[in-house]
C-alpha cells in the first residue's frame, strides 16, 4: 500500500548539524518524500545552510518552541498531501537510517503513530545519555503511566511518526508549544483510540547542545497529568488553548 511520507525537521540554531543529518537521510526519501525544515527563529545561519543544501525551509520570525516548530512542519506536510508525518530532529540525535523500520507499520496499516523508543533500544548508557536524563525520563514515564494507566516505554523520545489522520483526530495545532508537545500528543492519541506502536532505536548523545531545562520539563509533565485528570474526571477540555 503506497503512502506519501513527509518529514518535518524542527531546527533551532542548528547550522552545525543540519548537513550531517541531511547526508544521512536515505536517497529514496529525498526523491519520493516531502521534506520541510522549520527554522524556529534561529539566531545562526540555520536557514542559509538548509537552503544551500536544497532543503525546503520555513522560518519562524520569532522562536516559538519545539512544539510550535512541529506544528508548522506537520501543517505544511498535511497540506502537501502527506499520509505519514515523520519528526526528525536537526541535531543528529535520532538516526535517519531507521526511517524504513519506523515507517513500516504505516505501510502495513498496523499503527496510527510510531514512537522510536530508546528505552526499548536498551543502550542508553552506551549511547552516552546523561544519567540525570536516564533517571528523569524513567521517573517521568513511570509517573505518566501510573497516572493514566497507559503502558508506554518512553514519552520523551523525539523520534516520532504520525499518520495525518491521527494528527487531525487530536487537533494537533492546539497542543503545547514547547517540549511537552510530545508527551501531550501521546496521551491525546491514546485517548482518541489511536494505535501507538513503539519500536527500539539506538541512543546517541554527542557534542550537540541540549536546550531542554529538566526541572521546567518535570513541572510541565506534572501539569500535563493534572490536565489529563481534569479532562478524564471533570470533563474539562484537555487542550490548554
Ligand atoms: N531547544 C529548542 N529546540 C528547538 C526549538 N525549536 C525547534 N527545536 C529543535 O527541536 C529539536 C529538539 O530540541 P533539543 O533541544 O535537541 O531537545 P531534545 O533532543 O528533546 O533534548 P535533548 O535530549 O536534551 O537533546 C532540535 O532539532 C531543535 O533544533 C526551540 O525553541 N528550542
Ligand atoms: Mg536533542
**92-101 tens-digit pLDDT:** 999 999 999 9
C-alpha cell at position 68 = 510550535
CATH architecture of 5-130+154-209: Alpha-Beta Complex (3.90)
pLDDT score for 96:
97
CA 142 from centroid of its chain's CA atoms: 19
Residue ranges of the chain with pLDDT lower than 70?
Answer: 1, 207-211, 239-241
Nearest residue (CA) to ligand 1, atom 22: 210
Establish whether residue 40 lines the binding site of ligand 1, counting it when its CB lies within 6 angstroms of any ligand atom: yes
Establish whether residue 94 lines the binding site of ligand 1, counting it when its CB lies within 6 angstroms of any ligand atom: no
Burial 61-95 (b: 16+ CB within 10 A, else e): eeebbbbbbbbbbbbbbbeeebbbbbbbbbbbbbb
As residues whose CB is below 5 A from the ion ligand 2, the structure lists 91, 93
Tell me the pTM. 0.94
- Dihedrals phi, psi of 24, to nearest 5 degrees: -85, -10
pLDDT score for 195:
97
pLDDT score for 132:
87
pLDDT score for 199:
96
Amino acid at each position: 500500500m503506497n503512502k506519501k511520507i513527509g518529514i518535518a525537521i524542527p531546527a533551532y540554531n542548528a547550522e552545525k548539524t543540519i548537513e550531517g543529518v541531511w547526508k544521512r537521510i536515505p536517497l529514496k526519501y529525498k526523491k519520493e518524500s516531502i521534506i520541510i525544515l522549520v527554522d524556529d527563529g534561529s539566531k545562526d545561519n540555520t536557514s542559509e545552510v538548509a537552503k544551500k543544501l536544497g532543503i525546503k525551509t520555513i522560518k519562524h520570525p520569532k522562536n516559538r518552541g519545539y512544539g510550535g516548530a512541529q506544528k508548522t512542519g506537520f501543517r505544511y506536510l498535511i497540506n502537501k498531501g502527506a499520509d505519514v508525518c515523520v519528526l526528525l530532529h536537526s541535531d543528529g540525535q535520532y538516526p535517519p537510517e531507521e526511517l524504513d523500520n519506523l515507517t513500516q507499520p504505516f505501510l502495513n496499516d498496523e499503527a496510527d503513530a510510531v514512537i522510536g523508543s530508546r528505552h526499548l533500544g536498551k543502550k542508553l548508557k552506551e549511547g552516552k545519555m546523561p544519567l540525570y536524563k536516564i533517571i528523569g525520563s524513567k521517573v517521568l514515564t513511570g509517573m505518566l503511566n501510573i497516572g493514566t494507566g497507559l503502558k508506554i516505554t518512553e514519552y520523551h523520545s523525539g523520534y516520532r511518526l504520525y499518520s495525518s489522520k491521527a494528527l487531525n483526530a487530536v487537533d494537533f495545532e492546539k497542543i503545547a508549544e514547547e517540549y511537552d508537545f510530545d508527551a501531550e500528543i501521546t496521551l491525546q492519541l491514546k485517548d482518541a483510540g489511536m494505535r501507538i506502536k513503539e519500536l527500539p532505536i539506538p541512543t546517541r548523545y554527542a557534542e550537540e547542545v541540549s536546550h531542554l531545562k529538566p526541572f521546567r520539563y518535570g513541572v510541565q509533565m506534572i501539569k500535563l497529568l493534572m490536565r489529563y485528570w481534569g479532562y478524564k474526571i471533570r470533563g474539562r477540555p484537555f487542550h490548554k488553548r
